[in-house]
Amino acid sequence: MNKCLETGQSSTKETLRDERKGENPMAPRKESELRVSKHKKHTCSKRRFEPDQNKRLMKKQKSLESKLAGLKKVMNHEELQEYQEKLGQLEQNLAEIRMDISWAKAINDKSQIYLNSIIARLFS
């Protein structure tokens, strides 16, 4: 140990460490008080990637994927219903147009017959 000439204190690492901690440093723990790594409140970052947690994450991911697929099916079902309703309306409109065309043909046929009869009277 080297003593400082000005203060008379030794300059070893131990005394410097004691000075940093304060006057009454804490005593080391007894063997019975030592913490076991299993019982630590905060775990190290390596524990995050243990296989058990990976399995849990995979299960969560699969459940989320299945929920997403279910929502897609529901959306597709709703879209299908919308398209079926639109198709039904288009079929009704087409039926009405066909009826109008058939009436127009009937009217056209009657008017054609009427015109033919007028022409026949004119030239007779």
Tell me what pLDDT residue 41 has.
56
Per-residue pLDDT, 99: 93
Least confident of 14-18, 58-62, 111-115: 14-18
Between the alpha carbon of residue 59 and those of residues 50, 62, 68, the distances in Å are 14, 5, 14
Give the pTM: 0.37
- Give tens-digit pLDDT for 8-35: 655 555 555 555 555 555 666 666 665 5
Q: Which phi and psi angles does 23 have, rounded to 5°? A: -75, -40
pLDDT at residue 59, rounded to an integer: 85
For tokens 């219903």, what's the residue? 81
pLDDT at 39 (0 to 100): 54
CB 17 within 8 A of CB 28: no
